[in-house]
Amino acid sequence: MSPSPTLAAVTEQAQAAAWVAAKSAGVRVNDESTLAGFLEIEALFNRVWLLPPGESAIPSELLRSISHAGCNVTAARDPAGRLVGAAAAIVTPQSASMYSLIAGVLPGISDRGVGFALKQHQRAWGLARDLTEMTWTFDPLVSRNARFNLSKLGVQASKYAVDFYGPMQGEMNANDESDRLVAVWPLTSDESVACSEGRPIPIERPSWGPTDVLRLGPDGDPVLVAAAGTLWCRVPTDIVTLRAQNPQIAAEWRRSIRSIFTDVFTSGHIARGVSRDGWYRLAPGGTE
């Protein structure tokens, strides 16, 4: 079946945006199909997630199977050919959706736009195959990733999964429970198009007073407030460091944010953006 003219136009836009994103990041982004490349990607992911020897975030043989099945394995390389980022996604059967399994960027270069270039390549890849949505999960406590997903890509989230993977190993996760938000990325939305072209919707916290504070966080400061017709929820600035330095406080943050998101999603709110200082914007369902 041929794509509709509208989908064709969005696909063309996505391909152009992906090219610009890769050029801006100084990388070449392509689909990976070689065993040598899959081995490199496995090693990169293990380095990103600080896994001990003998453990793997995703084995190279699984990456090869994903690619062989016609799904997506993406690699980003610098001008010297060094692998600096990668991602993998599978196609959801009998739907117009794809599922992102994993994505990571070499430590030390996360501010260069490589992750953004990877996701834009995946967006264009999906649209070229008539796929109009991508989903994945992410840790709601990692504010940097949350802001990237919701504010820079145009993702939405309205589902909270408790301990999705079970206890997580490795230095980064420090045996924390694996609660996750379910990210939904509408690949054809006006917001996703704008984000792909570097025009994200600004997320600025409004001012509020003491009577607007609904809950306090483990640190004693406001963690949930109501202001300007919506809710705002704060997460720690650096949960990875906090897990290493004080796992008990990190666990308290996990329980606090779990309770808040479970309640606000039940009431119909949707996470739509994260401010630079780590506050989620939780808008009433159906609103911008």
Helices 114-127 and 5-25 sit at what angle, rounded to 10 degrees?
160
CB neighbour list of residue 181: distance below 8 Å, 6 or more residues apart: 137, 138, 139, 140, 146, 157, 159, 160, 161, 261, 271
Q: How far apart are CA 252 and CA 202, in angstroms?
A: 30
Strands (E), 109-264: 133-138, 156-161, 180-186, 213-216, 222-227, 230-234
HSE-CB for 227 with a 13 A CA cutoff: 19
HSE-CB for 113 with a 13 A CA cutoff: 20
Task: Tokens 């630079």: give the residue.
Answer: 276
Strands 133-138 and 97-105, sheet pairing: parallel
Task: Tell me the pLDDT of the chain (288 aa) as tens digits.
Answer: 444 558 999 999 999 999 999 999 999 999 999 999 999 999 999 999 988 889 999 999 999 999 999 999 999 999 999 999 999 999 988 899 999 999 999 988 877 999 999 999 999 999 999 999 999 999 999 999 999 999 999 999 999 999 999 876 655 555 688 999 999 999 999 999 999 999 998 998 999 999 999 999 999 999 999 999 999 999 999 998 998 899 999 999 999 999 999 999 999 999 999 999 999 999 998 655
**In the chain, where are the structural domains located?**
5-196, 210-284
Yes or no: is domain 5-196 CATH 3.40.630.30? Answer: yes
- Within the chain, what is the greatest distance between any pair of CA atoms? 59
Q: Across the strands, what pairs with 74? A: 31, 87
Cα dihedral angle (45, 50, 56, 58), rounded to 10 degrees?
-30
